[in-house]
């Protein structure tokens, strides 16, 4: 993603993060996060998502949107 100059884009950039509870703490586990990103892409295509509000409805493989951990441009999904 670092290859893209987000400041040059004329669009809002929203970054999803997928975190798992492990030993009582939330962690990004790269193997599962990569799979979840692929699932989200499929969700976006199948549901014609156009807004960040649409992304917040994503719920797959146990991941669900966590409003308390998220910010406007960083959507956190936990399981």
pTM of the model: 0.87
pLDDT reported for residue 40: 97
CB atoms within 10 A of CB 19: 20
Is 32 within a domain?
Answer: yes
Query: Tokens 């599962």 map to which residue?
Result: 32
pLDDT reported for residue 12: 84
Query: Tokens 């030993």 map to which residue?
Result: 23
pLDDT reported for residue 1: 57
State which residues form the domain around 59: 15-78
Question: What's the CA gap between 71 and 29, in Å, rounded?
Answer: 20
Is 8 within a domain?
Answer: no
With contact defined as beta carbons under 8 Å apart, do 29 and 22 qualify?
A: yes
Question: Quick one: tokens of 74?
Answer: 């960083």
Is 10 within a domain?
Answer: no
pLDDT reported for residue 38: 97
Encode the chain (79 residues) as per-residue pLDDT tens digits.
567 887 788 888 899 999 999 999 999 999 999 999 999 999 999 999 999 999 999 999 999 999 999 999 999 999 9
Number of domains within the chain: 1
């Amino acid at each position: 993603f670092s290859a893209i100059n987000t400041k040059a884009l004329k669009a809002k950039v929203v970054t999803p993060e997928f975190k798992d509870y492990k030993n009582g703490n939330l962690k990004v586990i790269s193997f599962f996060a990569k799979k979840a990103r692929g699932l989200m892409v499929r969700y976006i295509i199948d549901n014609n998502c156009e807004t960040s509000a649409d992304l917040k409805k994503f719920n797959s493989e146990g991941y669900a949107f966590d409003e308390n951990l998220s910010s406007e441009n960083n959507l956190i999904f936990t399981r």
